[in-house]
Structure 1
Amino acid sequence: MAEHPHAPGGLLHVLHPGGVACGERGDRFETLLGSCVAIVLTDPRRTVGAMCHIVHAMPAPAGRHDDAAYADVALRQMNELLRERGLQPGQCEAYFYGGGNMFPQVYPQQAIGARNTDWVRDALSECGVRVLQHDLGGNTYRRLRWTVGPDAPHVAAMPI
C-alpha cells in the first residue's frame, strides 16, 4: 500500500493486492479489482474507515500468517486497526466489491472471484456486520475510490 501524505483533503491510501489501511474522515482510499475483493468497513457516523484488498479466500498457509492477501489475515488486520481507534468491528457497516470472473474460458463454473465474494459475505454475516452496498461478479475490472465520510464508495467498471 502506498500512502501519499500531502494529498488534498487527507491521506491517500492506494491499496495493492494484500493491502490493508485505516483512516480518518477525509482520508481517501483507492484500489483496482478483478477477481479480488475489497471490503470497506466504517463506523455508522463515518468518522473512521478501513479497506482491504483480498486476493485469496482461504486461510493463510503455514508461514504466511501475516500475509493480508489471504482473507482471514486481511479481515483480522482491519479489525485490529479499527479496535486501535476505539471501534468494535461488529458495530461497523460494510461495502464490498469485486469478485469478477476475469478468465471465464478457464473457470467457466466456479470462478476465483465467486469464491472470494462468498467468503466475504459469510465472514461479514458471521461478524454481524451490516452490508450497505456491494457490486460483485461480472467480467470487468473495477476501480474503487472512497473518502471516509458520509458518501458511499464510487465504483467504476473498466472493461477487459
Structure 2
Amino acid sequence: MKKPVGAAEVVLAPGQVSFATGPTRLRTLLGSCVAITFWHPQRLIGGMCHFMLPRRLHSQQPLDGRYADEALELLLRHAHVNGTHARDYHVKLFGGGKMFPELQRHKPTQDVASLNIRAALDLAERYHLHLTAQDMGSTGYRTIMFDLWNGNVWVRHQPMGILQQDAYQKNQCAAGR
C-alpha cells in the first residue's frame, strides 16, 4: 500500500470520472453508488468512475459521470485517446450497498443499489470488458483505493450495523491481474 514518491492522489466525488497516465492513487467512498476501475497492466494507466444512477432518460446533453452508461463512455474515450482499447484493461466493480434496507423492504422498486449493480454488470457484458473482480451488494458503504502503479484495489466495507471492520483488505481477486 506504499505510495511511490511523487504519486498523485485524486478523490472522486459522486458523478466524477478520473483517468491518469502516471503514478496515481484514486479514492472514493461508495454507498448505493458503483465504481468501475480500469487498469492497463502494460502501460500502468487507467481510471475510475463513481456513478450514482444507471442511466438518464434524456441524454442530449454532454456526457455526465453521474450515470453508469455515460461514465463508462467517458472511461472508454480516455482509453481511446491514450491509444488503448477497452479489451486491454482489467476492470473491477465495487459498491451498490443498500443504505436503507429497512425502507427498501417495503418499496423494492426503489432499490437504487440493485439497479446500479445490474447496470454495471450489463455494461461489462455489453462491452466485453475483462472483469477481474467485483465486490458489490450487501449493505453499507465501501471505501475504495485504486493504485494505478500496480493495479491493486483496496476495499474497506462497512456493512450496516457493524461497528468496525478490519483495516483495508486487499481485494483477493487483485492477485489475478
Is TM (by shorter chain) over 0.5? yes
Q: How many residues align?
A: 154
Q: Which has the higher helix share?
A: 2
Supply the distance in 2 between the matched residues of 1:11 and 1:150 (Cα, whole angstroms).
14
Structure 2 residue aligned with 1:4: none
Supply the distance in 2 between the matched residues of 1:70 and 1:142 (Cα, whole angstroms).
19
Supply the distance in 2 between the matched residues of 1:126 and 1:54 (Cα, whole angstroms).
17
Question: Is 1:71 aligned with 2:68?
Answer: yes
Q: Deviations over 1:30-61 (max 9, x none)?
A: 00000000000112326111100010002353
What are the equivalent positions in structure 2 for 1:31-42 lying under 5 Å apart? 31-42=28-39
Structure 2 residue aligned with 1:84: 81
The amino acid of 1:80's aligned partner reads R
What are the equivalent positions in structure 2 for 1:1-160 lying under 5 Å apart? 8-45=5-42, 47-59=44-56, 61-62=58-59, 64-108=61-105, 109-110=108-109, 111-160=111-160
- TM-score normalized with structure 2 length: 0.79
Percent sequence identity over aligned pairs: 28
Structure 1 residue 89: Cα displacement: 1.4
Structure 1 runs of 4+ with >6 Å offset:
none
Supply the distance in 1 between the matched residues of 2:43 and 2:148 (Cα, whole angstroms).
6
Q: Which moved more, 1:115-124 or 1:19-28?
A: 19-28
- TM-score normalized with structure 1 length: 0.87
Q: Is the 2:41–2:151 Cα contact (8 Å) retained in structure 1?
A: no
Query: Structure 1: any 5+ residue segments left out of the alignment?
Result: 1-6
The amino acid of 1:99's aligned partner reads G
